[in-house]
A and B are shown apart, each in its own frame.
Chain A
């Protein structure tokens, strides 16, 4: 059974720091992986989607990498800003089975001014 883990559950960093958020999954048979941002009381916003054949995707200050064989993905945020404070979730789309994404429980990021 596919499981997705995000450690740490919470993280505080000073403004300007480069940081890495981690996502681990137990089964490498995936179609893709998505990173989302969730602000308090709001829905999820998709940040990056990496197909299983890709190694990384970039959008502005965000870079997501995927290592399927080791069951790991990282989200790199460059030059963090207070506006980056949010919960970041990853989700994998397993091959086969029902058509659903499996979500991690997220990392709550706070960027201090």
Chain B
């Protein structure tokens, strides 16, 4: 049982480049989330998807877009990367919005 799988694990981008972070879960969960983790700031919610077909902004959505491709997959896209987006990104899922969160292992992104 893989749980929540994120790819890639590491990525280095130049300012202005674009990329998509992929996330898939195999637990048949309805809700999925993208967080970023920065030193001293805890985890902050970027976007979430309460259920298949819906997406909503979280706390820090600027500079990002998401796609809930199907029930299993939730991708995060950086259209024009900026150094301020250097962070560790985590995907998470839960059965519904108030339930236990399951996290992926993270993507360490550096924007030069």
Give residues in A with beta carbon < 8 Å to B.
4, 31-32, 34, 36, 41-46, 49, 89, 91, 93, 98-101, 103-106
Contact = CB atoms under 8 A, between A and B. Distances in A.
Given A46-B101, A91-B101, A99-B50, 15 more contacts: A31-B98, A36-B101, A42-B106, A43-B4, A43-B103, A44-B90, A44-B101, A89-B43, A93-B98, A98-B45, A100-B58, A101-B101, A103-B43, A104-B42, A105-B40
26 contacts: A31-B98, A36-B101, A42-B105, A42-B106, A43-B103, A44-B43, A44-B92, A46-B103, A49-B99, A49-B100, A89-B42, A89-B43, A93-B98, A98-B45, A98-B57, A98-B59, A99-B31, A99-B50, A100-B33, A100-B48, A100-B59, A101-B101, A103-B42, A103-B44, A104-B42, A106-B42
Interface residues of B, number: 27
Interface in B72-112: 90, 92, 97-106
A34 B103 contact: no
B97 A99 contact: yes
Contact of B48 (A31, A43, A99): A99
Given A43-B104, A45-B103, A32 B43 contact: no
Which of A45, A105, A106 has most chain B Cβ within 10 Å?
Answer: A105
A43 B45 contact: no
B75 to A, nearest CB: 17
